[in-house]
Amino acid sequence: MDLFTQNHTATDSDEPRTQIYFQGGLNVALPNYAYFEGKIVPYGEAKVGILTHALNYGTAAFGGLRGYWNGKEEQLFLFRPREHFLRLLNSGKYLCAELEHTPETLTQAAKDLLRAEGYREDVYLRPLLYKADEIIGVKLHGLTDEISMVSIPFGLYVANDTNAHVTFSSWRRVDDNVIPARGKISGAYANSALIKTDAVRAGFDEALVLSQDGHVSEGSAMNLFMVRDGVIYTPPVTDNVLEGITRRSVMELTEKELGLKVVERSIDRTEVYICDELFFTGTAAQVTAITKVDHRPVGSGVMGPIAEKLRSVFSEVVHGKLAAYSDWLTPVYEK
């Protein structure tokens, strides 16, 4: 995701939030605090040198979680932080990271950071696991691993989330034997960035990406679901997709709330052109309905009933309004 690419200048901690950048139609200020080298520090003090290994070689892995504000309960709910931090640590395994952290210690650090910020709105949390040494040399072993976290207020990521128009990218999805696609390895996101920029510059909201063997994998930073003849399909985790936590959650919700099981199987490009419904899932994208692919309408060209129902169930779940899924939520504030 291209969250931190524009006007991202560090400010001193005691300065007001004046630096504004633009993301997905939303203006937000820089954070006040960061989790950095094991402590919560003013954001302006969380700095690395330009020789940092991860910055030069992409030897980092990142996460992306949302926190949802429930005004009635005056509570901020982190969505499935343990699953997100477990995936981050697993991505770290690909990078030979050596860290003492567990999903629990990272969840605690996230809570400490969000409490310091004192948010009363929906937020996005960005953990980063990175090779911190300032040295020259392409390798993974014998380096120092660090984890940082920052958070920002956050709304929509895909602007047209009920009627997205997507294109098939001319780029291919990074292959498991090139850089593991099931991990969130920072260097691999140059692939996602190529995909997203070309799609947006060509006038589309997002892109669908084919794997090396020509099957549909996912979007630039979101998983894909397709409905044909009343059956919901999603590409299997062996088709070079990120093992999305929203994907897994939506699969459970379709089964329990809609009574429909999702079939995991490879999807051909030409199926997409004749399917009834198509939608993305992801932390940033949440449930985004796709209504046009390469200028062809999906189904009747408007958001379909399955995407619509899932959007409303998902929103209730993440805001803590469906008790059956409360174990997916971690409250940030003490009551």
For binding to ligand PMP (CB under 6 A), which residues are involved? 64, 192, 218, 221-223, 242, 244-247, 281-283
Q: CB-wise, 35 or 79, nearer to ligand PMP?
A: 79
Q: How far apart are CA 15 and CA 245, in angstroms?
A: 36
Catalytic residues: 184
Residue 5: CB minimum distance to ligand PMP, A: 15
Q: CB-wise, 283 or 291, nearer to ligand PMP?
A: 283
Q: How far apart are CA 65 and CA 63, in angstroms?
A: 7
- Pick from 127, 82, 119: which is nearest to 333 by CA? 119
Q: How far apart are CA 97 and CA 59, in angstroms?
A: 10
Q: CB-wise, 44 or 183, nearer to ligand PMP?
A: 183
Q: CB-wise, 151 or 281, nearer to ligand PMP?
A: 281
The CA distances from residue 6 to 10, 85, 334, in Å, are 12, 26, 35
Give the distance, in angstroms, between the CA of residue 281 and the centroid of all CA atoms in the same chain. 9
Residue 281: CB minimum distance to ligand PMP, A: 6
Residue 50: CB minimum distance to ligand PMP, A: 26
The set of residues, in sequence order, having a beta carbon less than 8 Å from that of 1 and lying 6+ positions away, is: 64, 157, 189, 192, 221, 284
Q: How far apart are CA 233 and CA 238, in angstroms?
A: 14
Q: CB-wise, 75 or 246, nearer to ligand PMP?
A: 246
Residue with tokens 């200048």: 9
Residue 84: CB minimum distance to ligand PMP, A: 7
Residue 104 CB: number of other CB atoms within 10 A?
Answer: 11
Residue 247: CB minimum distance to ligand PMP, A: 6
* 103-117 and 81-94 helices, crossing angle to 10°: 120
| Cβ–Cβ under 8 Å, residues 272 and 219 | no
Q: How far apart are CA 202 and CA 233, in angstroms?
A: 28
Cα–Cα–Cα angle for 11, 126, 156, nearest 5°? 95
Residue 58: CB minimum distance to ligand PMP, A: 14
Q: How far apart are CA 188 and CA 190, in angstroms?
A: 5
Q: CB-wise, 76 or 245, nearer to ligand PMP?
A: 245
